Amino acid sequence: MICVCICENNVMTAKKYREMLTKISRKHNIDVNITRFSNGETLLLHTMNHPHEADIIYMDIFMEELGGIETARELRLRGCQAGIIFLSNSVEHVFDVFDIKPVQYLVKGSTFEEKFEKVFLRAVELARQKKTKFLACKFGNSKVMIPIEDIAYIKIKKRLINVHHKGREFRFYSSLEKLEKQLQDKNFIRTHRSYMVNLFYITTFHPQFLVLKTGEEIPVGGTYTNKVKQAFLKLYGKTSSRPLL
């Protein structure tokens, strides 16, 4: 699912974009959810409760009160990673948005459908690439996209997943089996029926436990010992200076 936000104060213009995006999505079999916001304030309010929901944002530059550029900058400050496509009546502000790193700057009335489609497909591809680098965690109304490289380990207790990343924790309901599939080929390994560890965080391997960069000790179940050891050796090589025992 690709979540698209259209931040446009003109109802008819927003409707036109929605129709174009729906048509393109059906043509390319892309599952999308499109939400319209009439101004920057409502979009920012929405992202307070759903900070990582949007994958693509079509942002009108000229809006009452809070303009599109100011809204986009605030979104970036809040950690929003969505691909932003600016919409404007002129090229006047094209050089003012570089720091926001938009996907594209489109001029209304001068953008043909072919160009609109090409830009959207590019934004979709970028969104999909980002999704492979993040672990989506949802608990109630809270959704967090955690960079996979920041995750030290994952622990489960009674179906409650606890993701440990950069000294913080995020909890949500799932299963380690499901996460194993999501993190396949991401250098994570099951060390215990209740633990998965990022191999890059391991500093020392013992038959019964691992020591992480964080100083934490993670148990290694008897049935996982050889598998963990082989994965560790494969990643760092037999000549690694990292201690095994």
Per-residue pLDDT tens digits for 8-17: 999 999 999 9
CA distance 32 to 136: 17
Domain span including residue 162: 136-236
Query: Is pLDDT above 90 for 232?
Result: no
- How large is the average pLDDT for residues 204-233? 90
Do 13 and 126 share a domain, yes or no? Answer: yes
**What pLDDT is stored for residue 29 in this prediction?**
96
Assigned token pair, 36: 């319209």
Listed in sequence order, the residues at least 6 apart from 66 whose beta carbon sits closer than 8 Å to its beta carbon are: 39, 40, 41, 44
Q: Are 57 and 44 within 8 A, CB to CB?
A: no
Do 121 and 142 share a domain, yes or no? Answer: no
Do 114 and 145 share a domain, yes or no? Answer: no
The position carrying tokens 């400050």 is 77
Radius of gyration in angstroms for the set of CA atoms belonging to the chain, rounded to a whole number = 22
Q: At what angle do helices 113-131 and 11-27 cross, to 10 degrees?
A: 70
Please choose, from the candidates 85, 92, 154, 160, the residue with its C-alpha nearest in 3D space to the C-alpha of residue 122. Answer: 85
Q: What are phi and psi of 70, to 5 degrees?
A: -65, -40
Pick the last residue of a domain from 114, 131, 148.
131
pTM here is 0.67
pLDDT by residue (tens digit) across 30-62? 999 999 999 999 999 998 877 778 999 999 999
Query: Is pLDDT above 90 for 198?
Result: yes
Do 122 and 55 share a domain, yes or no? Answer: yes
**What pLDDT is stored for residue 239 in this prediction?**
40
On whether residue 242 sits in a domain, the answer given is no
> Which value, to the nearest 10 degrees, does the dihedral of the CA atoms of residues 120, 121, 126, 132 take?
130
**What pLDDT is stored for residue 83 in this prediction?**
96
Do 48 and 105 share a domain, yes or no? Answer: yes
**What pLDDT is stored for residue 69 in this prediction?**
95
On whether residue 158 sits in a domain, the answer given is yes
pLDDT by residue (tens digit) across 99-144? 999 999 999 888 889 999 999 999 999 998 887 788 888 777 777 7
Do 72 and 12 share a domain, yes or no? Answer: yes
